[in-house]
Every structure is written in C-alpha cells, then in structure tokens.
Amino acid sequence: MISLTLAEIAEILGGHLHAHGTAGPATIVSGPAETDSREIVAGGVFFAKPGEVTDGHLFVRAAIDNGAAVAIVDHVVAEPVSQIVVADVVTALADLARAVVARVRAHGDLRIIGITGSNGKTTTKNMLARILSDEGETVAPIASFNNEVGAPLTMLRVSDTTRYLVSEFGASGPGEIARLAGLVNPDVGVVLMVGMAHAGGFGGIEHTVYEKGRLIAAVRPGGTAVLNLDDARVASMQEIAAANDESVLWFGHAADADVRVSDVAVTGDGTTAIVTVDGVDHPLRMRVLGAHHVMNAVAAITAARAVGVPVADAIARIETVELAERWRMQPMGNASVRIINDAYNASPDSMSAALRTLAQIAEPGQRKVAVLGAMSELGEFAGEEHDNIALLAVRLRFERIVVVGREARRLYLAAIAEGSWDGEAVFFESADEAFEYLKTELRDGDRVIVKSSNSAGLRHLGDRMGEFFS
C-alpha cells in the first residue's frame, strides 16, 4: 500500500483514531492491508471484518503479534494497538481502496483493466497479468479475489510505481459489480460471456446481463470496452459503451472481430489456435488444456492490445503459462491414469466445456470418466441444468459417470434415464466413498475429469486421486 499517515487513513474512512503508545496522527503506515490476521506482516493494516462464522475483532491480538500497525474496527477493542473506529469495516475497506487507487492514478502512470463474465475471469486475469508483467509493475488478484473483500484488498496492493492494476469482478447478487467497478472506474472493461452461473442469485439470465454490463457502465469515459462478439448478450453492451463515449474492441470467432480466433485444436499436451489481427495470422500454442481457454486467451490479448501491447508479444507470454490456476483444468496423476482437476467452480457452461475437453483428448481405447458434483447458485434452473449435463455426458459416451453428493443426485438419475443404466453411472453420498470406488475402478488408459462447484468440495477429491495415481 502507498504510505499514508494514521490521520489520513482516519479521514478517508470517516473514522475516529485511537492512537496507541508512541504512535500519533502523523505516524506513517505503508504495510499491506489484510482481513486475515495470519497474513499480517510488520506495519500492516488489519481490517477486523465481521464474518458469518467468526468476528475479525477476536483476532486483533493475533494481528498485533504479527506486526499490525493499526486495526480498523467498528468498536474499540482492549488491545495495545492503534485503532480507527468506523461504522462498517467492509465499507471502510472499499473506501480506502478507492482513495489509494485515485492517488496513484493522479500522480502516476496507472492503467486499470476490469474483467467480468460468468466463466473464465480468473484464467483471463492470470493470462493478462502474465502479459502485462513484462511491461511494468502489475498488480492482479490472488486466486479469485473478486468480491467485496477480495477486490479492494487487491486494489490496496498498488504502489506509486504500479503501472497496471488488473481487477476481477465477480458477483453473487445485484449491485456488486457496479459497487466494485465504481471504486476504480477502469480504463478497460472486459466482458467474457454471460451464462447461467449465479443466475439463481440474480433472478434470471436477463438480470445477469444487466449486472455484467455494469462494468462497461463503470469504465471511464473515453476508455475501451473489450467485448465477446460471439455472445449476443455481451455484444449488446456496445450500446452502454457508446453512451459512455467508449471505444469497443471485439474478440471471438466471428470474421469481423478485431482479434479473431480460428482453427482451435485440443490435445493431451495443450491447445492450439490461430489468432488473426489486422489480417495477420499468429499461431497460438498454449500449454493450458481446453478449447474454452482459447477464448480467455484471446480476451487477454485483446485487453492487452487496448493498452498498447503488440499481439505477438502478448501471445509469446501466454504461451509460457503452464496452468490457468490451481484446480482449473489442472493435470494430475500419471501417464497411465490421467486426471484433470477442474473442481474449483462450475456452471453449466464450464461443466459442458470440461466434459467436451476430456472427450477431445481421450484417444481410442482410453476410457472417459467423469467425476461430477453439484453446480451451485442456479436457483430454479438447477434441476434442468443438471439434467442437461447428464445428457451431455451420456451422449459423449463417457464410460463412467461418478456422481458425488446429495445435491447432485438428480444428475445421476438423469444419466440413468438417458441410458447409463448398466453400471456406467454410479452415485455416492460422500467424496470418501467415491474415492474408495475410484481407487479400484480406474485402470491404465483412463482419462478422468473432476468437476463441481467449489461448495461441493470435489477439488480435494481430485487432489487425493492425483496423489494416489501419481
């Protein structure tokens, strides 16, 4: 974080400073901000955020022991540390992020790129960060820091020398993207796709379109909207861009996309494609598995182009990326039993993409095995969407469909109804039961995809399988 005095922080947050010991209003603080006391380092700022399970105020002492210089609290705590009392700790976190980014932007060369979409945000963010890191100091989220806490914490990592801030904006409910993007008003806004992810929380797909479009509405006038021309819902956001005096850069398979992708091929070693810009074809050879990740790569290339990075340089840097993110199409196991752990999250679109990827890379004679858990946050659409995934798995001729968890039982029943009644589809209440089955069921030549929403916890089952078959 940039250097600020305790008085400046208190003023920004509209809080009351209770200085401790030799500290006073003029004391300078420059350590990183955290909401997890275990992550605090010397000179850090601890936001004592109330949580669903516990309360950050209970961990102020732990933060002090790790070197916290100041705690942001909603009431004075009896601990020996300077404290700034605010009305709401999460709101204060956002307020400080807004102010810090504004100061760096006013006095430096900071460019801000915001990314949203129903799928692919984290992979695109990682690829874009890899591209930009060779251009200058780049700050990007750790893992999927894209909510009301993670996004501001990422923003607070900028310094006076930061050249690029890549922000990932997720949302579990209405208004969240508008609030988060409004903290920084990006120079470039990237919308990847609009699918059924979180449709239950938004009340339907059209509401999802509106919420994702709030990123484009938040882009600074004169900025750039990077939009997926293949997705009609995303393409419609050009109207928002036009109203906000933004230029538009298109990516996709369509012939008139500014950055066009074609000839996508997936093998067990990676994914290849041709990227065409201004009539020039550029081969793309990614180590990351999955045709769907090509679109994430092209989105990152387009966003980089919006801030002046040559296409050839962007492609060369993406080709060095070995893994999109942990638990995202992560290869595990050995040459005989290969496991792809893609169970960090799941939506109908990403579930379908994962199944199709495994079907593409499995060679004749190799069994295709799907280990599937529930997709969350689909609301009234959950039943139908789980049915659709079961239908796809059967039609792609998966030799084994292993369904795990009560929330996903409908997927199992739908697979049986579609035709997997002769032992191809099996159901287990727990990951432990599934693991015991898979230890003896999997054999040489099997290709396995593990896919579920985060809440289903199958990513840990994937890890266990990967270790067992390594």
Q: Give Cα separations from 437 to 148, 241, 288, 359, 440 (angstroms).
A: 40, 52, 29, 22, 6
Within a domain: 92: no
Alpha-carbon span 154 to 33, nearest angstrom: 9
Residue 101 covered by a domain: no
Give the percent of the chain with pLDDT over 70. Answer: 98
247 in a domain, yes or no? yes
Residues 366 and 393 in one domain: yes
Tokens of 445: 């030549």
Residues 361 and 410 in one domain: yes
Q: Could you tell me which residue, 465 or 173, shows the higher pLDDT?
A: 465
My answer on whether 243 and 127 are in the same domain is yes
342, 429: one domain? yes
The pLDDT of residue 440 is above 60: yes
Mean pLDDT, residues 237-261: 97
* Co-location of 377 and 456 in the same domain: yes
Q: How far is CA 210 from CA 146, 194, 213, in A?
A: 18, 10, 5
Question: What number of CA atoms fall less than 13 Å from residue 383's CA on the CB side?
Answer: 1
Cα(380)–Cα(384) distance, integer angstroms: 8
Output the pLDDT for position 82: 97
**Residue 201 clears pLDDT 70, i.e. is over it:** no
| Pairwise CA distance, residues 73 & 90, whole Å | 10
pLDDT exceeds cutoff 90 at 200: no
**Based on the domain organization, do 78 and 128 belong to the same domain?**
no
Q: Kindly state whether residue 100 falls inside one of the protein's structural domains.
A: no
- Do 215 and 142 lie in one domain? The reply is yes
pLDDT tens sequence across 59-69: 999 999 999 99
Q: 350 and 221 share a domain?
A: no
Number of structural domains in the chain: 3
Which among 168, 124, 129, 127 has a CA at the least distance from the CA of 146? 168
Domain of 384, CATH number, reads 3.90.190.20
Of 259, 288, 318, the residue that ends a domain is 318
Among the ranges given (188-202, 214-228, 443-457), the one the predictor scored with the smallest mean pLDDT: 188-202
Which segments of 356-433 are extended strands (E)?
Answer: 368-372, 400-404, 425-428
Partners of 114 in the beta sheet? Answer: 167, 189
* pLDDT average, residue stretch 286-309: 94
Cβ atoms of residues 128 and 325 within 8 Å: no
What's the confidence (pLDDT) of residue 395?
Answer: 93
We report the CATH number of the domain holding residue 253 as: 3.40.1190.10
| Residue 266 belongs to some domain of the structure | yes
80 within domain boundaries = yes
For residue 198, pLDDT beyond 60: no
- Burial of 91 by CB count in 10 Å (0-12 exposed, 13-18 middle, 19+ buried)? middle
- Please give the model's pTM, rounded to 2 decimal places: 0.83
**Is the same domain home to 210 and 267?**
yes
Task: Answer yes or no: do 425 and 446 share one domain.
Answer: yes
The boundaries of the domain holding residue 232 are 108-318
Q: What single DSSP character describes residue 78?
A: S
The per-residue pLDDT for range 119-145, each reduced to its tens digit, is 889 899 999 999 999 999 999 998 778
Residues 138 and 183 in one domain: yes
Secondary structure (3-state) at 87:
coil
Asked if residue 98 belongs to a domain, the reply is no
State whether 121 and 225 are in the same domain.
Answer: yes
Q: Strands 224-228 and 247-252, how do they pair?
A: parallel
DSSP H or E run through 273: strand 270-277
Residue 291 burial (C-beta neighbours within 10 Å; 0-12, 13-18, 19+): middle
In the numeric block, the tokens 């300078």 are attached to 28
In 107-222, DSSP assigns E strands to 111-116, 138-139, 164-168, 188-191
Closest C-alpha among 3, 178, 10, 160 to residue 83: 10
Average per-residue pLDDT in the chain? 93
User: How high is the pLDDT of residue 333?
Assistant: 85
Angle between helices 291-306 and 311-318 (to 10 degrees): 140
| DSSP state string for 126-153 | HHHHHHHHTTS-EE--STT--STTHHHH
Q: Is residue 422 part of a domain?
A: yes
Highest mean pLDDT among 71-75, 168-172, 378-382: 71-75
Q: CA-to-CA distance for 332 and 470, rounded, in angstroms? A: 7
Q: Count CA atoms within 13 Å of residue 148 on its CB side.
A: 15
We report the CATH number of the domain holding residue 16 as 3.40.1390.10
Q: 418 pLDDT band (50/70/90 cuts)?
A: confident
Find the helix or strand (DSSP H, E) in which 106 lies. helix 89-107
Identify the domain boundary among 264, 294, 318.
318
Domain stops at, among 265, 287, 318: 318
